[in-house]
Amino acid sequence: MVSPYGYPTNAWMRSQRPLPKFHAQMIHQTIQLNNQLNREAQDNIDAKEPKVNIWDDSVVETAMSRLDVKEAGDRKQSLPSADEKRNSMVSTPEGDAQRPAKPSRFASFRKSIGFKSSEDRAVGKMVKKMDKARELRDEILAEENARWPDEQWRQIVTVYQEKVGMTRKIADLRSRYPIQYLHLLRAGYFEPIPVAWATQVSNPLKFSIESAAGWRGITPAWRGYEDTAEERLYWVLNHREGSVGMRMKPDFISEMNMANARMATAVEPPPEYYSANDTCHIQHTSTGYSKQVMPSPFVTIDRPEDPSDDTMILLDVSGSMDFDPLRPVYNQYLITGYTDSTQPKNKGITAHVL
C-alpha cells in the first residue's frame, strides 16, 4: 500500500506531511483490502463447517453403512473364483503332486508396517468427522445450558430473537453453520444486551477494532468497524428478516461523499423562522442565518396521539460548542487547515418538550 506521505525522498531531515493525492490513494487501497480480507475470512470459515448435519445421527450412520457395504463388496471381489483356484495350482517337479500358490508376502508386509487400504482410510476419516461433530454438538449444548439455564431465560431469548427478526437466521446458523453459531453464541449475539453493561468500563461493546494493531472484532467480516457495538449492529441489520441486500457501514470516502451531497441541499431558512432575539443575531457573528438542510416531510407511521400519552422532556446540557468554532478545509479527503466559523457558541440548557 502507498504511504500517505508519498514515495520516499532524500530530504529525510525535513518533516513530512501527508499529500492529498497519496492520502486519497491510501484510503482507496485500505477499503479494497478490507473488503477482500472480509470476503476471504467468510469463505474460509464457511469451508470449515461440517459437511453433515451434526444434529441428525441418521445421516452419519447411513454414510458409515455405505462404507461397510462397499468394503464387503470389495472383499468379495478380491476372493478368487473356482477357475482361478484351479489355474493357480502349480505342479511339482515330479508332476504327481499339486499345491496352491503361496500368497504374496507384500500384502502382509504393508499391513505389518501400518499401511491402510483406501477403504480403511475412508472409514477412518468418517470416524474422525463423527467425533468432531459430536464434540461440536456437545459444546453447543453445554454453552446453551450455561447461558440459558431455565425456562424463563429461554423465554426471554426467544422473545428477543422474534422482536429483532433473527429467529430463522439463528436457527439456520445452528443447523448448517454450527462453528459460527457457537462463536456468536459465546459472544452474546443471540440474547438481549445486559443493562449492567451501560455503566461498566469493560463493556464488551466498547472494545475498539484496530486491524493494524491486531485488535479484531467478533464476526469474520470485522474489518472496517470502529468498535464491537458497531459490528454487532450491522450484523443484525444484515441478517434480520426482511432485510434487502447487504447494509455495509459507509467507509470514509462514502461518508464524505454523503456529507457533501447533504450539504449541497442546504437552502436559506423560510422567513417564518426568523427571530431578532436569536443568539446568532445578538452575538453579531453573522449577518443572517446560515443555510440549513431542511428536514424531510413528516409521514405519520404510528397511531394518532392520545391525551393519555406520556410526555418526554429532553434536556440538552452539552458543552461541546463552548469554544471558538472552526471549519475544516479539505483537499480531497485530507484536512489541510481550519477557518473561522460563524457558528455561535452554545452555553446553558435547552429544553425540548415532546
Opening angle at CA 186, ends 203 and 175, nearest 5: 145
Model confidence at 301: pLDDT above 50: yes
Given this model, what pLDDT does residue 302 score?
60
Q: E strands of the chain, at which residues?
A: 89-91, 98-100, 313-316, 326-331, 334-340, 350-353
Please compute the mean of the pLDDT values over residues 148-165 and round it to a whole number. 94
Model confidence at 210: pLDDT above 70: yes
Given this model, what pLDDT does residue 346 score?
56
C-alpha cell at 306: 392520545
Q: Which of 14-18, 135-139, 216-220 has the lowest mean pLDDT?
A: 14-18
Q: Which of 187-191, 199-203, 281-285 has the lowest mean pLDDT?
A: 281-285
Higher-confidence residue of 130 and 149: namely: 149
Bridge partners of residue 91, in order along the sequence: 98
CA 334 vs. chain centroid, Å, equals 29
Characterise 224 by phi-psi region: left (phi > 0), alpha (psi -120 to 50), beta (else). Answer: left
Task: Return mean pLDDT, the chain.
Answer: 78
pLDDT digits (tens, 9 = 90+) for 91-128: 445 544 455 555 555 556 555 555 566 666 766 677 78
Model confidence at 214: pLDDT above 80: yes
Sequence-ordered list of residues with C-beta below 8 angstroms from that of 242, at least 6 positions apart, any chain: 165
Residues in the chain: 354
Q: Which of 67-71, 188-192, 254-258, 297-301 has the lowest mean pLDDT?
A: 67-71
Q: How far apart are CA 241 and CA 279, in angstroms?
A: 47
pLDDT digits (tens, 9 = 90+) for 43-76: 999 999 998 889 987 765 665 566 555 555 555 5
> How many Cβ atoms are within 10 Å of 24's Cβ, its own excluded?
19
Given this model, what pLDDT does residue 71 score?
53
Given this model, what pLDDT does residue 91 score?
46
Given this model, what pLDDT does residue 252 score?
82
Q: Angle at which helices 57-78 and 118-147 pack, to 10 degrees?
A: 170
Please compute the mean of the pLDDT values over residues 252-267 and round it to a whole number. 86
Q: How far apart are CA 275 and CA 273, in angstroms?
A: 7
Please provide residue 336's backbone torsions phi and psi, each rounded to the nearest 5 degrees: -105, -10
pTM of the model: 0.67
DSSP string, 254-298: HHHHHHHHHHHT-BPPPGGG--TTSHHHHTT--SSPPPB-PPPPP
- The Cα-based distances of 238 to 102, 192, 287, 314 in angstroms read 69, 18, 47, 31
Given this model, what pLDDT does residue 102 score?
55
